[in-house]
C-alpha cells in the first residue's frame, strides 16, 4: 500500500513541474507586442484578427493586426471580448470593430457593447457607439 506521504510527494512534484512550465511560457510572452518577431508570413496587406475571453478567464480578448511584413503592428486588449472587424472604405489602415466589456449595473451583470474605429498605424482610437445590455 502506497503511503500518504508518497502520494502527496508525487502530487506536489506534478504541480511544481506544471507551474514551472506555465511560468516559463508566460515569461517568454512578455514584452511589447510591436517588438515580437515575425508571426505570420509576408503578404500584400495587413491581417487583423479578434479574439474573445471566456467567463473563467476575463480580460483575455484582443484585437491584433499583423503588417505586410508579418510583424505585430497593433495590439489592444482593453475589452473582454472582440467580435467583427472590417476595413473602413477609403482608408489605408483603419478598421471598424465591435467589442464588449462585462460590467455591473444595479447588482446585475451587464454587457457594455461598443463600436470602435482605430487607425492601425497611429493607434488613434474612437468609440462610435455604446449600448449596455442587462443579462437576464
Predicted confidence at residue 32, as pLDDT, reads: 58
Confidence of residue 55 (pLDDT cuts 50, 70, 90): low
Which residues make Cβ contacts (< 8 Å) with residue 112, sequence separation at least 6?
100, 101, 103, 130, 131, 132
Q: What is the mean pLDDT of residues 99-118?
A: 89
Residues 21 and 57 in one domain: no
Q: Over 80: is that where the pLDDT of 6 sits?
A: no
Q: Residue 35 domain-assigned?
A: no
Q: Residue 91 domain-assigned?
A: yes
Residue 123 contacts residue 51 (beta carbons within 8 Å): no
Structural domain range at position 11:
1-30
Predicted confidence at residue 66, as pLDDT, reads: 87
The residue among 66, 71, 61, 53 whose CA lies nearest residue 95 is 66
Confidence of residue 39 (pLDDT cuts 50, 70, 90): low
Residues 61 and 117 in one domain: yes
Per the confidence metrics, is the pTM higher than 0.95? Answer: no
Amino acid at each position: 500500500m502506497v503511503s500518504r506521504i508518497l502520494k502527496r510527494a508525487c502530487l506536489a512534484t506534478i504541480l511544481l513541474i506544471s507551474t514551472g512550465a506555465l511560468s516559463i511560457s508566460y515569461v517568454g510572452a512578455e514584452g511589447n507586442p510591436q517588438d515580437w518577431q515575425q508571426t505570420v508570413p509576408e503578404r500584400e496587406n495587413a491581417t487583423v484578427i479578434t479574439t474573445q475571453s471566456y467567463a473563467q478567464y476575463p480580460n483575455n480578448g484582443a484585437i491584433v493586426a499583423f503588417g505586410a511584413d508579418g510583424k505585430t503592428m497593433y495590439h489592444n486588449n482593453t475589452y473582454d471580448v472582440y467580435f467583427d472587424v472590417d476595413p473602413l472604405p477609403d482608408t489605408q489602415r483603419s478598421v471598424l470593430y465591435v467589442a464588449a466589456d462585462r460590467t455591473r449595473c444595479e447588482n446585475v451583470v451587464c454587457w457594455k457593447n461598443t463600436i470602435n474605429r482605430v487607425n492601425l498605424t497611429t493607434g488613434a482610437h474612437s468609440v462610435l457607439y455604446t449600448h449596455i445590455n442587462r443579462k437576464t
